[in-house]
Structures are given as C-alpha cells and as structure tokens.
Structure 1
C-alpha cells in the first residue's frame, strides 16, 4: 500500500438499523486486510434496539460510530456523509460482505478516472436457500445488466466529483438504484473482485424483497425524484432467449416478476412507496 493511499483514506459509510447479527461479518470482511489509515469507516446506527453500536465500537479506532435515535436509511446516509472525510466514498449495506481487496479496487478505479461511480458484481451466497430462490438467482445472474457497468445490490462508491452530483440523498427506498440512475452508463465502472450478498432464504421473503425493489423503481419513475439514465426494460421474449438457463427457471423468474409488479402497485396505491421491507431470513445463520 502506497503512502499516498494511506494519506488519503477511502471513506466507507455503513447505515445500520438493528444489524447486530451481521455487522461483525461486514466490518471484518472490509478491514481484515486493510492498511492502517486506509479506510475511514463510519457506521451510522439508526433507531437500534439491539447491540449494533457495541459490536461496531468493538472494532476499534478503525471504525467511528454514530448513534442516531430515529430509524431511517436516508437520514443515516446523509449523517454518515457529513461525518466522513475521504474520497472516494463507499456506501455499504451492513448485510453484505465487501472484502478489503474489493473496496480497494473500487477506490483505485475512481482515483484513476474517468468514472464517477463504481460498483462490483454481486455473488449470492445461496446457503440455506430454497430451490425456488436458487432458480431465481440462476436467471438473475445471467441478466445482461449485471455484466455491463453494474452499480447496486448494496454497494456503490463515488468519486468526489460524483459525490457532488449525488448528495444529499433524497428519501428513496433503493438508494443504490438512485445512484445508478444519477450517472450515465459511460460514467460508471464495474470492478473486480465482486462482493457477497445474502439472498432471502424462502420464496415469500424473496417476493417481499423484490416488491421493495420494484417499489423503488416506481418511486423514481413517478417524477417525484431526480432520475438520470434508466436501463431499458428486458421483456419476456428477450429473457427467454437468454442462453444457458433452463426454460423452467426462466418461467419462474417471469412469474415472480408479475407477482412483484402487482405487489408494488398495491404498495404505491396505499402510499407506502417509502416504507422499507426488511428481510430477516437472510440475516439468520444457515
């Protein structure tokens, strides 16, 4: 690690609401191979009723912890932004694993330019997941969006110039989707290695999570919030033509899509497009 990188730490903002089950996993993965002063980590506990704060504090001087009384991811992101000192800046969900090497690669790419926002390819850990969830992710991983400048799934990073365009965060459900749409494809980069996500274990929990994601799309498309470049939707015909995935899995994927669209529509009708659907199944030990 060069002296230059140590003198200019990469800030990492980690919003955390009752994440005691996973915060150690998240911080250990990020910091286990880091150099002193390489990362400026700000964990923003918000409305916690468990020992998230104590667990984060136990990681020592490498981690600063804010303890906000109110629940809210947007407020946590903006509070973390106000406390963070370095660029590039990584926004990291507490329930995913981003290794030291992966965080370092994102920061290095943004320092080099010209990209303004960086993501990495998600790797689902399907331990303990049902057959149907596994089938869904077999299709999801084959989608072109994951192979072309992908930003999302709980991790993204911005340069200082990118941050000026992105911040402050508006009250959105899917902050990473918002970040992806603020930047044109040519301004994004996907780095290696990827990072680990922990999907819902069963089909009902997966549907709940996907409804939240779809509701985030609806919120951004409603015109209530700034929206940059949206990817063109991939229709049923295009999905069925995706090579290497059995037809039965594709049909399950399409069927779930219909259910999710209906659920998001109901959520929007009830005025609940800013309500976060939390999945507890992915936070339990397998």
Structure 2
C-alpha cells in the first residue's frame, strides 16, 4: 500500500512548511491522494475539500466508495487491530474508503493500519494533534457521507450502513450510533457514575461520547471550517439543531470507559474544560448542562439509582473544584490510558 508521510513537524493547523512524501510499503494497490500546497492550512483543505495531485491506481476497481471513514490515531496499534477487522469484514470491496491518520505515533499504528487491505489509506503526521489529524483526513474526503471514528471504539459495517441511511435517505445532517459501554474491568465507583451519566437526557440524545459521527456533505460543510475545540465531538453535536441530528437505534458502537475512579476524574476534567471552552465561544446550548430536575427524574424512573446519585454528585463537584483551581490538561490528546487495550 502507499503511505503518505509528513517529514517535518507542523505547527498544528498549518502545513505551509510541511513537505509530504510517499513511502511504498506492502501491497501497491492502495489509492492515495495528498500533496503539499504552499501557504495552505489544514483547515483550508478541510473546508474547501481540495485534493492535490490525486492518483488512482489502475489496478484498483473504479467504483466509488459509498462513504469515507476518517480515523485519527495516536499510538493506537492495538485499537486499530480491533477496529479495522470488525469494520471491514462485512464490508463489500471498495464500499468504504478508510483513511487512518497516524499522528505523533511511537508505536506500530501505521504498520497495523496498512495490514488491512487496499481500502485503507494511511497518512502519518510527525506531531501528535487530533485537530491536525481530523483536518488532514477531512482534506482527503471526496466521497460522502463521511464518518469520523475514534480508533479505540469498535463497530461493524452494518452499524455504519445504518448511519449512512440516516444522512442519505432520511435527510439528517449528522448521525451517531447507540452507545454500548463495555464495563469489563471497570471499578464499582466508575460503574456507578456511568449508570447515572448514561441516563442524562443530553447524553442520550447528543452525538458526543460515542466515538463515531457520520455527516452528510452538507453537515460536513457546516463543521469543516470550525476552530479546534478540546471536546470536538461535543462541538460537532452542538453544531446541529435537534431535528438535524439523530441517534440510530439500529446502530451500536462499543466504547471502553475509564476503568478507575481516578482516571474517570481526569476524563471528566477534560470534558468540563471542553464545555467551558465551547461556552466561552458561544457554541454550547443550555440543554447540554445537567439540571437537578434531570437527576430527580432519573431516580424516579429507576429508584436503584438513588444509591449511585451521591457518588455522581461528589464526583461532579470535585471535578468542578479541580477545574476552578486550574487542573492541567495532560497531553496533546488528553486521553485516558486505562480504557485502552491492555
């Protein structure tokens, strides 16, 4: 396959000084599409959907994919080894064009991605930056709908097709799957927190926290020019009115939550920081906040949640105190390592 590599580290969001080179590896039957354009930003690529020097391998089938799948990956060798086989096993040849954007990887993420056939293209960026990875993948999109998929989740082709139907046949601009939290090895305190969290109305209806968002071409155009935010999935969710987005009940994604209460705290700090950032930019609606009435309704509907509510409230209060005191966000990707595959 053909891998595309940025040979010098970019300033996040700017590729004006980043020459890209092709590195041949594995089978030569992979489509490629990317090149350097001087004085052009990643966001300009994403918003205008420019594809420079696009090349099609004559050995490849010329049928167009039904959609594009963009997977940003930072040290996700094991996650990709789980996600890609499940995603592609039931897919028809050429049905999905999968673009894996490895950024700042020190493991074998790119090599792992390259093992999964000609429908997978690999882009490597030298610096870890999810914003740059999303924009680089977005710059290569030419077939819609487009799915943005986190490398540490798992879903199959049927789940993805169900989301495609929502944005092609039913007219939604954005769609996401039902969320299945995999609670193996998750501590009791973390499980109790998630028991409440999953029942919150904004968590049930929002596109965020699922690791998968599918956009129609019009939906993509709406978000392509947005600035980068810590909570990119919440920003995408808030970009659409309730009637413009949907959660597909016939599509499910497996998501691995934080395994310990301590790692849950760190993850929630990031979320609150992201919400505050969006709020300061005027990009978050009041309905995205948890209200006391929401918690009362959860307990009324499921009385067993009353035992879990104090832990949820203590966790929420502690997170807010930590954020108010200026808790640092750890790492460029700001992610929880306990939810990764051991």
Say whether the 8 Å CA contact 2:101–2:125 is kept in structure 1.
yes
Relative to structure 1, the CA distance from residue 283 to residue 273 in structure 2 (aligned partners, 3 Å threshold; closer, same or farther) is closer
Q: Which moved more, 1:37-46 or 1:20-29?
A: 20-29
Equivalenced residue count is: 275
Structure number with the bigger relative contact order (C-alpha 8 A, sep ≥ 6) is 1
Gaps of 5+ in 2: 1-62
How far the C-alpha of 1:86 sits from its partner, in A, is: 1.3
Relative to structure 1, the CA distance from residue 140 to residue 238 in structure 2 (aligned partners, 3 Å threshold; closer, same or farther) is same
Equivalent position of 1:147 in the other structure: 204
Equivalent position of 1:3 in the other structure: none
Q: Which moved more, 1:139-148 or 1:76-85?
A: 139-148
- Within 2, Cα distance between the matches of 1:158 and 1:284? 28
1:123-167 CA-to-partner distances (Å, cap 9, x unmatched) read 10000111111111111222222433x312211111001111110
TM normalised by structure 2 equals 0.76
Match of 2:97 among 21, 40, 51: 40
1:21-70 CA-to-partner distances (Å, cap 9, x unmatched) read 21111112211211111111000000111100000001121210000111
Match of 2:177 among 105, 120, 132: 120
- Within 2, Cα distance between the matches of 1:74 and 1:185? 25
SS where residue 164 of structure 1 aligns?
helix
SS where residue 229 of structure 2 aligns?
coil
Q: Which moved more, 1:232-241 or 1:45-54?
A: 232-241
If each structure's helix is expressed as a fraction of its own residues, which one has the higher value?
A: 1
Equivalent position of 1:162 in the other structure: 219
Question: How do residues 97-108 of structure 1 correspond to structure 2 at under 5 angstroms?
Answer: 97-108=154-165
Gaps of 5+ in 1: 1-5
Match of 2:263 among 178, 196, 205: 205
Which structure is larger by alpha-carbon Rg, 1 or 2? 2
Equivalent position of 1:219 in the other structure: 277
- Within 2, Cα distance between the matches of 1:48 and 1:206? 24
Say whether the 8 Å CA contact 2:163–2:251 is kept in structure 1.
no
Asked if 1:67 is matched to 2:124, the reply is yes
Asked if 1:250 is matched to 2:318, the reply is no
Relative to structure 1, the CA distance from residue 222 to residue 228 in structure 2 (aligned partners, 3 Å threshold; closer, same or farther) is closer
- Within 2, Cα distance between the matches of 1:164 and 1:220? 19
Relative to structure 1, the CA distance from residue 84 to residue 232 in structure 2 (aligned partners, 3 Å threshold; closer, same or farther) is closer
Question: How do residues 1-286 of structure 1 correspond to structure 2 at under 5 angstroms?
Answer: 7-148=64-205, 150-153=206-209, 154-191=211-248, 192-223=250-281, 227=283, 229-242=285-298, 243-244=301-302, 245-267=304-326, 275-285=332-342
Relative to structure 1, the CA distance from residue 275 to residue 50 in structure 2 (aligned partners, 3 Å threshold; closer, same or farther) is closer
- Within 2, Cα distance between the matches of 1:65 and 1:266? 40
SS where residue 309 of structure 2 aligns?
helix
